[in-house]
Structure 1
């Protein structure tokens, strides 16, 4: 941390009063030569701007030139790299662009290297004194002045006035006089250090001039020289980094006098545009383009001094979770135009529901008496007060703005082109109307088992010929705020659900959920049993409406990969991830919705590896004649299993005798030559002889059993290979 003392000392050191010669300016002059006095030079105004969703803007300056003329365009240093990378200049009447230049500058770090002082761009007081070690100075403070040459600067930790107070850092400058006297002087706010070396003071002055000049070089002046005769039209275009323009919408709804639900709504689209490029946009032709052309920045304006160029690391657009998907049918019908990576979201609400039970099949939505689940949810009531007739809010709001916008699509972009010129001053923003259209809408409630909080939503169809860009929207119902949300791009003729508020009057519970499997058919060919199986997943929901008015509820059922819909109610629409079922509910009514999904799959079993019990379980519903055809296979498998058991038993006997012989031989090795031990040794020897005879017989039986097993295995393989049962349905 730099102390106040060091900062004050640094300022005093840089304002010394020694006599110096005038130093040259550190500002680098423009690379473009000044035009002759006989030529005209004027600024070329911006006339057309196209803003893209990836944060770049296309700028076009245009104007007339006469004879040989130089025009100028001002940029910030931040814009210059984009300008050098994309600048295009065209004389529409036969003139020639003979050159372009701008005021360049050597990087500050490179300029500082040319100074004899080893100072960085942001030095401390300690850095300064370290850089001027050996300089001839005069130090004046509380005592008499002392002159000499700087040896070093030292930072010392001095104990505080009490034991518990922290230590303080103090700086001491060591100076050696011409007579050899050495003094360490504390640098305090009252200490003054004066340079006695005029050349060193000159170097410090140059350093400060470079720092000041670097701060003032934020504006660049681009000069283009256009040679020709007569008056001609000149156009100059380039791209520049700009803030991303944002879309925001208003959906206006008004109930009809009869109180029926509106079938249309007024959609107003606005764009938020920010001008941060440093110059005014006066009467420019503005286009807002929903597209993201590839763009990057290279430091072309920076002189390169034998080093590799700075190439930024490529970054992918960050995608956020999707909003409600459009249906597969509308996606096929809608023209495919590029969307823009950006925001997405969903509404929020409250409510819970759960249920379980046994299979209760219901193929169509069924009505339940209104008293079954009454009182669930909340209802808001509005008391009407007599008032003078007034103009419908939707009509009044729609008549208040008239967007004058033309649209066009090219390549993968969609353009909103404002017909009237726009003026946006520098460092200001504007809210620009880009569209207004009547669109068909349907008020619904949305529920999904993955998002078990019912939401109020609009089912909106884009009947205009415009692509609605990604952005936020606000709902205004009868002049009151109804909610807000986010939408993804909606193409012409595409239908989309837009949720905007919680619906506390709707409750959806699961009455039962059940999965079953059924064997459809099977066949046996070359020892492989192929089983065709069907699996059905069923769920039944109870949708209850506790509101005082009828409501349409959209139930989203997630699609399972590899499954097909298998129920009588058909979905109103299908998205890549869900089925959407329409359930109409009257006030206080409960309705059942049964949904089934099915998948068919095939299982393979090798008969040689399948037990009789497994085969019997698989074929439990098969025709008895099938089991009769399989009986020879079952008999062969039983015979093979019997031989395996006999072989296992004989091998167990051999292992037991081998263990006994090992024990007897160990006992024999411990016997001595006494008469009793000789008698015991004879008994052990007789026992070993008997066991050897038994082992020989067992090994002979084992060899015979192995031969019988090989024959039984071959018999089983032949019977399985010859077995051929065509497809039989269960």
Structure 2
């Protein structure tokens, strides 16, 4: 019969009574509930800072912590006693792994399954047993099975052997504390109790108090998030309001606490402090002697690791035009006024802005804390356990405008440009990243994502696609500010600025003036030679402002430049330019002017020789093609007297062509010889120039 049937028939209740020396008595121990949470600081790296304040009495104080948070608490727990006393010790139960605990249990307890096996494990154990008729006190001798019936043999305290049916048992109490504790530990391991049972951390004080305590620690919590709304109107600052979403999953209510939300991510990590860490030691058993040796003869010696909304203003004008003709009708004005009275009337722009400003009054003040930015609540905050709260953190005007945004030349977005000014004292200055909902001229326009924005920074938030503007870019390159640095031993050192010129053209198909920003990336090692008006720079990226009229084209020129220092050859055009500019400058002295002028004259003569080769090369190419054509025609003529006259004429033309080709080739050879001589002369003249 299975053990479940034994429990069903007899209604056996197995009570395991243990006395653990590590358990705390209720007397003299203060509970953590007496210290309510007074302050919570939430960070964006997954941890929260908690403070508890209160007055307790007694020499001991207990805090219950979830097992998944015990390591963070042990890593950061701080106890401050304002009354002058001090904590003498902090204790907590040791957590050991299930495998290690299981290995420490006797194999009989570890492997026991069901009632019969447990009773067999309990052989020799002192127990108290209650049956239908009477109670017994004695030691378990063993269990026997006779078919489907199991019988328990018991040696009573009167030294009598009693046999009982297990189905008659009503209660069994284990009097052996070691076995009861081992059985309870085995059950804890089976249900993995350590994963959910709270861990009790006990603080002991030097006296009985009372103690005025401030206890602080960090633990893992959900990160707080921010969400924003922005109202954009023509020729007015942008009204921005923001909320922080806070989740309380700590296991207890936050009532009337001081709540702070810190921006940024301070460093934090996980580290195992609760579970003992065992170091595997090397085994040296192989060094043990294997056999005894006979004693030697005695001798003396010595030890050796984001679509555009319709223009509301235009829509309003169309509606006004339709209504203008109706106002003359009888009863229209009165009906309209009654309707407006019934729904509260029209909202003017000033009323709408005033309502927006009042709708989300901030409950926090901002301050800089090292590299972090903190939003601190100005009044107590309550967040029930298991709930989330929306807390207003931002409500202010910002510099901004509705613009067109080109992150690439092929895509055009409508976007809002936002600039975070330095906030007033006590208000939020840094804006954390989060989703943002845009309202343009009082109408929903789209959604975007606001990056983290510190004071003085500018961000573009795209909220819809709009192809009514297009952009075209033309690029070119030019060298400028060429300067002769040094000439020595025939080597010329030149410095100049290499300029990359970007011509940005924006074409508008709108009936209104527009402002566009085109995103560009600065090349490595370059700087902007001239910064266009309204240009916004973010690292290597910069956003060029282009103003476009209705159905017009606007253009802006951006010039990047980078300094270049190089060594050029005598025949380089850069060398010639640098030397000419040097002669025009005030740094040219008489000692270098003569050799430089002689070099420039020889260089000019070399250029004339090279230029004279160009027409000769073209003539030679044409003559070679004509000779090839004549030879092909001669080859195609038939043999005989019929084509004799034509063959004679073609042969004459080929002879003239070859004569002209020979003369041109001769002239080219003569010029090539002169070019080589000029090159040698230039090298010699350059060696005579010395400039340092």
Q: TM-score per shorter chain, which class? A: 0.5 to 0.7
Equivalent in 355, 363, 368 of residue 409 of structure 1: 368
How far is the alpha carbon of 1:484 from its aligned partner?
2.4
Equivalent residues of 1:32, 1:102 under 8 A apart: no
Correspondent of 2:252 among 279, 285, 289? 279
Please identify, of 578-587 and 560-569, the stretch whose mean Cα deviation from structure 2 is larger: 560-569
Q: What is aligned with 1:581?
A: 544
Aligned to 1:422: 381
Give yes or no for contact 1:31–1:101 (8 Å, CA) kept in 2: no
Q: 1:474 to 1:69 in 2, by over 3 A?
A: farther
Tell me the SS of whatever aligns to 1:382.
helix
How does 1:712-723 map onto structure 2 within 5 Å? 719=684, 722-723=687-688
Pairing of 1:641-720 with structure 2 (within 5 A): 719=684
User: For 1:599-624, what per-residue CA distance to the aligned partner results, in whole angstroms no more than 9, with x for missing partners?
Assistant: 442331366xxxxxx45896489769
Mapped to 2, the partners of 1:246 and 1:269 lie a distance apart of 10
Distance 1:48 1:405 in 2: 14
Distance 2:51 2:455 in 1: 30
Match of 2:477 among 506, 511, 515: 515
**Residue 292 of structure 1: aligned partner:** 265
- Determine helix, strand or coil for the equivalent of 1:62: strand
2:352 is equivalent to residue 389 of structure 1: no
Among candidates 245, 249, 252, match of residue 231 of structure 2: 252
User: Structure 1: where are the runs of 5+ without partners?
Assistant: 1-11, 148-197, 256-260, 309-346, 351-376, 608-613, 636-711
Change (3 A) 1:444 1:14: farther
Q: 1:243 Cα deviation (Å)?
A: 1.3
Q: What does residue 59 of structure 1 align with? A: 50
**8 A contact 2:433–2:452 mirrored in 1:** yes
Q: Alignment partner of 1:279: what SS?
A: coil
Distance change (3 Å), C-alpha of 1:114 and 1:601: closer
Aligned to 2:667: none
Q: Tell me the equivalent position of 2:97.
A: 107
Rounded to whole Å, the distance in 2 between the matches of 1:428 and 1:378 is 39
Match among 192, 195, 199 for residue 220 of structure 1: 199
Match status 1:90 vs 2:23:
no
**Aligned 8 A contact 1:564 1:598 in 2:** yes
Q: 2:513 aligns with which of 546, 550, 555?
A: 550
Change (3 A) 1:307 1:271: farther
Q: CA shift at 1:284, angstroms?
A: 1.5
Instruction: State the Cα distance separating 1:75 from its structure 2 match.
Output: 1.4
How far off its partner does 1:396 sit? 1.7
1:441–1:461 Cα contact (<8 Å) kept: no
Q: How far does residue 239 in structure 1 lie from its aligned partner after superposition?
A: 1.0
Does the aligned pair in 2 maintain the 1:507–1:545 contact within 8 Å? yes
Contact 1:439–1:460 (Cα < 8 Å) also in 2: yes
Indicate if the aligned counterparts of 1:266 and 1:436 stay in contact, CA closer than 8 A: yes
State which of 269, 272, 284 in structure 1 corresponds to 2:242. Answer: 269
CA distance in 1, matches of 2:40, 2:401: 38
1:554-588, Cα deviation, whole Å (9 max, x unpaired): 23343223334446954534343244332222222
* Pair 1:240-2:219 in alignment: yes
Q: Does 1:480 align with 2:443?
A: yes
Deviation of residue 118 (structure 1)?
9.3
- Structure 1 residues 482 and 124, CA, compared in 2 at 3 Å: closer, same or farther? farther
CA distance in 1, matches of 2:274, 2:195: 16
Shift of 1:13: 6.5
Deviation readout 1:226-254 (Å, 9 max, x if unpaired): 4557654211111111111112222123x
Pairs within 5 Å for 1:173-572 = 207-208=186-187, 210-212=189-191, 214=193, 217-226=196-205, 228=207, 231-253=210-232, 255=233, 261-307=234-280, 347=306, 382=315, 385=319, 388-390=345-347, 392-449=351-408, 452-465=411-424, 466-510=429-473, 512-517=474-479, 520-522=482-484, 524-566=487-529, 569-570=532-533, 572=535
Instruction: Report SS of the residue matched to 1:236.
Output: strand
After TM superposition, give the deviation of residue 288 of structure 1 in Å: 0.9
Determine if contact 2:93/2:200 at 8 Å carries over to the other structure. Answer: yes
User: SS of the counterpart of 2:40?
Assistant: strand
Contact 1:454 1:507 (C-alpha < 8 Å) held by counterparts: no
Q: 1:279 to 1:42 in 2, by over 3 A?
A: closer
**Distance verdict in 2 for CA 1:620–1:119, change over 3 Å:** farther
Distance in 2 (CA, whole Å) between partners of 1:560 and 1:480 is 40
> How far apart are 1:264 and its partner, in Å?
1.1
| Aligned counterparts of 2:390 and 2:261: Cα–Cα separation in 1 | 12
Q: Provide the rounded CA distance (Å) in 1 between the counterparts of 2:188 and 2:538.
A: 66
Matched residue SS, 1:509: strand
Relative to 1, partners in 2 of residues 1:723 and 1:29: Cα closer, same or farther, differing over 3 Å? farther
Matched, 1:592 2:555: yes
Return closer, same or farther for 1:382/1:302 CA change in 2, 3 Å cut-off.
Answer: same
Task: State the secondary structure of the residue aligned to 2:315.
Answer: coil
1:49 aligns with 2:40: yes
State the alpha-carbon separation in 1 of the partners of residues 66 and 195 from structure 2. Answer: 11
Q: 1: distance between equivalents of 2:603 and 2:508?
A: 62
In 2, Cα distance between equivalents of 1:457 and 1:524: 55
Q: Does residue 75 of the first structure (1) align with residue 48 of the second (2)?
A: no
Instruction: Tell me the CA shift for residue 439 of structure 1.
Output: 1.9
Deviation, 1:72, is: 3.0
Task: Indicate the RMSD between aligned Cα atoms, in angstroms.
Answer: 4.7
Structure with greater proportional helix content: 2
- CA gap 1:280/1:460 in 2 versus in 1, 3 angstroms: same
Q: What is the TM-score with the length of structure 1 in the denominator?
A: 0.57
Given that 2:482 and 2:497 are in contact with CA atoms closer than 8 Å, whether structure 1 keeps it comes out as yes
Aligned equivalents of 2:555, 2:433: Cα separation in 1 = 36
| Equivalent in the alignment of 1:358 | none
How many Å apart are 1:41 and its aligned residue?
A: 4.7
Cα-to-partner distance string for 1:268-323 (whole Å, 9 max, x where unaligned): 12111112222222222111112333222222111334559xxxxxxxxxxxxxxx
Aligned length: 494
Contact kept in structure 2, 1:82 and 1:240, CA below 8 Å: yes
Name 1:367's counterpart in structure 2: none
Q: Determine if contact 2:534/2:544 at 8 Å carries over to the other structure.
A: yes
How far apart in 2 are the matches of 1:17 and 1:633? 117
Deviations 1:652-677 (A, max 9, x none): xxxxxxxxxxxxxxxxxxxxxxxxxx
